[in-house]
Amino acid sequence: MNHHHTPDNFHPNKQGKALHVGLIPDGGRRWARKNNVSLSKSYAVSRDLGISIAKYLFSLGVSELSVYLSSSQNFSRSDSEIASFTSAAAKSLENEILDLARLLNLRVVIVGNNKSISSKVVDLLMRHNKQLDSRYVRRLNLCISYNPTEELENAISLSKSSGIFLEYLWVTKPVDLIIRSGGANLISNFLPLQSGFARLYFLDELFNDVPLSSIKNIMNSFLELNRKFGD
């Protein structure tokens, strides 16, 4: 058996640097209400800030960034809200996020249910990913309509009962740390298996109000940790 993939070994390595960062950009709806702007405007601000944060993290040597854009539960909201965030995600994918991927040579992966994203945009991403220089392994995971139970069921099904299902997960690398904005100190089903040993950092600010300096402080703090993982 490939020991690397056994469940009890599924945690980040003990290197000082963060290789896989999770981001939960919470607070977009509250920010829109607080600033009396449309959800579309709020999501545009979130997108621009998210891209700035991504550029900073990849410049530090992060090799994988997973961003929680929506859970499957978010799709029980009102039709107008669902339309706002799915439209914002699709437009961003087609434009700014694809530009970022080309600039940084990132593989962009939709994690979850991509039915809310048009097939045209999905095809664009697939074409981009095929053209990447294989020497670069940096990856941007966008969790859209994500449900960990679906991820697990899919992985077990694909592994054909071999028992080694971890390599069939949508996201196969453990998360080193998670940053969540918006004042809620939980991870809301965000990559729970991958995040079992992740360090958690919670920010009180709504995502659109998070200064880049807060992200820098978190990364500096993380680099100083002595990580033991229970041993």
Taking the model in full, what pTM does it have? Answer: 0.86
Is residue 63 predicted with pLDDT exceeding 90? yes
18-223 CATH fold: Undecaprenyl pyrophosphate synthetase (3.40.1180)
Q: What pLDDT was estimated at residue 129?
A: 83
In the chain, where are the structural domains located? 18-223
Would you say 75 and 82 are in contact if contact means Cβ atoms under 8 Å apart?
A: yes
Would you say 112 and 170 are in contact if contact means Cβ atoms under 8 Å apart?
A: yes
Both tokens assigned to 95: 């434009």
Would you say 123 and 156 are in contact if contact means Cβ atoms under 8 Å apart?
A: no
Q: What pLDDT was estimated at residue 32?
A: 93
Is residue 33 predicted with pLDDT exceeding 60? yes
Both tokens assigned to 218: 């978190």
Q: What pLDDT was estimated at residue 78?
A: 62
**Residue 155: Cβ within 10 Å count:** 18
Please write the tens of the pLDDT for every residue from 150-180: 999 999 888 886 668 888 999 999 999 999 9
CA 193 to mean position of chain CA atoms: 14
**Residue from 68, 131, 141 nearest 105 by CA:** 131
Mean of pLDDT over the chain: 84
Q: What pLDDT was estimated at residue 223?
A: 87
Please state whether 134 falls in left (phi above 0), alpha (psi between -120 and 50) or beta.
alpha
Please write the tens of the pLDDT for every residue from 98-132: 888 888 989 989 898 777 677 788 888 888 888 88
Q: What is the CA radius of gyration of the chain?
A: 17
Q: Mean pLDDT: which of 11-20, 40-49, 187-196 is highest?
A: 187-196
Q: Between residues 117 and 215, which one has the greater pLDDT? A: 215
Would you say 196 and 11 are in contact if contact means Cβ atoms under 8 Å apart?
A: yes
